[in-house]
Amino acid sequence: MKLNKMFLIAAMTCLPLQHAFSETIENVSVQVVDINGGTSQLLLEKMDSSMQVVADQLFLGKDSHMVESAKDDYVRLLAEIGDRVFTGYEISDVRFASGSGTEIVMYARPWGGTIRQPEIDLQFSGVEPETAALLQSRIPALKADLERAISGASVDAGDWAGGVLRKMVRQQVEKQLPEFKAAVDVVQEHGKTVVQVVIYPVGQLVTNVKYELRSEAIPNILLMKLKYKYAAECDKLRGLPIAYVKNHKAALESMLTEKLLAEQPVREFKLQPKVTIVPGTVLGVTIMINSDKYKVWFEGYGDVGRDKDNLSGKAHVGKFISPRDEIFGEAELVLDDVDWIFGTGYTRYWGKSAWSYMRRMPVGDNDYRLEYNLSPKWRLRAEHFSGDDRNEFGVRYRIHEFLSAEYVYGGEEFYLRIIGNL
């Protein structure tokens, strides 16, 4: 009887001591280690996070003493779960020490071969190859990041590793190319691991390009090769999202400008190209070839509704003496009587307006002209000829760089002037 009482007293004494030395598990940390050392940190972090969810459910809020007493069972359970979750890997060992902060280390190794020199197949869908190269330059590290992430991993880990790569690609594309989406697959082809990445545009796209290249500095006929070449260059912008063009308008304009500056005619004549892009489903691209040194043009006139002097031509050669001031010479030929008229003068430019004075010979009169550009295609003209005290007023519309039409009031008559521009 006394012996039973002693055992009862001992048990009652040890129970509070056991509770005194036990703790509730408040946090758990999991680390997965590849004992071969080949798996990238990115994939190991994915393995950590996957097992972290399991460990939290198993241990948080549990009595650390009770967990410690069943340690072998927990080790076996964690190893079995790890083997099932991490396809391509086997868990060789699990170590942990329970306490209020429980740390678990799981040692894994690939069960078969590992990935060496993976191929990264990066494609841009729906855009021209040169445009794709421009887009790729915005995510220059993507290929190298994918290669580092997948190299050294188990060959059989493609399914769950693909999810990690998809997340990484999506984050980079959303940051650098938010107008695009990406699809990622990890496949085995002929014994080699291939990471296939297809980046494709979303939203409204550029379906057509309305393009124009012209100059007011030199005859447009001298720029015909450039005109055809850059029609093809601008056509490469088809397929881009309109949102991308809006967000990177300045970069696209700069890209085309840099290419133009390297062209032989532009360098030879010291021309200054200016590119203007107007985003839309029909993308507008206007290239103006300007010069701050000279202005040369040739025009032929055919007047419809005029009885005399209705066929003529004019050549203009000007030199800028400042950004707003031009001195020039003009030669005009009237075909009716084959009369030549020569003149020298001065033009002052400000904003969209230009005021000119020219002394004409041999008629010996003065020509005063005021022009105003309403838009790139519309121009107003008011001109006074002192010799016969005549005024002319015209509204001119540019059909394209080689053809314009002007409706003219010549003081006594109205007529339509067809203008050929060289």
- The answer to whether 147 touches 40, Cβ cutoff 8 Å, is no
CB–CB of 158/186 below 8 Å? yes
CB atoms within 10 A of CB 254: 12
Dump the DSSP string for 344-404.
EEEEEEETTEEEEEEEEETTTEEEEEEEEESSSSEEEEEEEETTTTEEEEEEEEEEETTEE
Give the integer Cα–Cα distance in Å for 357 and 362. Answer: 16
Please, what's the b/e burial string for 95-122 (b: 16 or more CB within 10 A of its CB; e: otherwise)? Answer: ebebbeebebebbbbbeeebbeebebeb
Task: Give residue 14's pLDDT.
Answer: 41
Spatial contact of 109 and 91, defined as CB atoms under 8 Å apart: no
DSSP, res 100:
S
Tokens of 115: 């990935």
- Does the CA dihedral 314-315-319-322 come out positive or negative? positive
Measured CA to CA, the distance from residue 201 to residue 181 in angstroms comes to 6
Give me 182's structure tokens: 């990406």
Q: Which residue has the tokens 């942990």?
A: 96
Q: Where are the alpha helices (DSSP H) in 186-236?
A: 224-235
pLDDT of residue 130: 85
Residue 395: CB atoms within 10 Å? 14
**SS3 (DSSP) at 417:** strand
Name the strand (E) or helix (H) holding 422: none
Phi and psi, residue 75, nearest 5°? -60, -45
Query: What pLDDT, on a 0 to 100 scale, did the predictor assign at position 4?
Result: 42
Pairing label, strands 282-290, 353-361 = unpaired
Is 273 within 8 Å of 260 (Cβ atoms)? yes
**DSSP letter (8 states) at residue 236:** T
**Quick one: DSSP state of residue 160?**
H
Q: What is the DSSP string of 22-34?
A: --B--EEEEEEEE
- The class (CATH top level) of 119-201 is alpha beta
CA distance readout (Å), 82 to 7, 32, 72: 44, 10, 15
Per-residue pLDDT 10s for the chain (422 aa) are: 433 443 333 334 444 444 445 689 999 999 999 998 899 999 999 999 999 999 999 999 999 999 999 999 999 999 999 999 999 999 999 998 888 999 999 999 998 889 999 999 999 998 988 889 889 999 999 999 999 999 999 999 988 999 999 999 999 999 999 999 999 999 988 889 999 999 999 999 999 999 999 998 999 999 999 999 999 999 999 999 999 999 999 999 999 999 999 999 899 888 999 999 999 999 999 999 999 999 999 999 999 988 888 899 999 999 999 999 999 999 999 998 888 999 999 999 999 999 999 999 998 899 999 999 999 899 999 999 998 899 999 999 999 889 999 999 987 889 999 999 98
Helices 41-59 and 158-176, interaxial angle, to 10°?
A: 110
The reported pLDDT for the residue numbered 21 is 53
pLDDT at 19: 46
Q: What CATH code would you report for 294-421?
A: 2.40.128
Looking at residue 246, its pLDDT comes to 95
Alpha carbons 29 and 7: distance in angstroms, whole number = 40
Q: 66 burial class (0-12, 13-18, 19+ CB within 10 angstroms)?
A: exposed
Q: Pairing relation of β-strands 27-34 and 101-110?
A: parallel
Both tokens of 23, joined, read 């703790």
What would the pLDDT profile of 375-409 be if each residue is shown by its tens digit? Answer: 989 999 999 999 889 999 999 999 988 999 999 99
Spell out the domain ranges in the chain. 22-110, 119-201, 208-290, 294-421
Handedness of CA 78, 80, 82, 85 (dihedral sign): negative
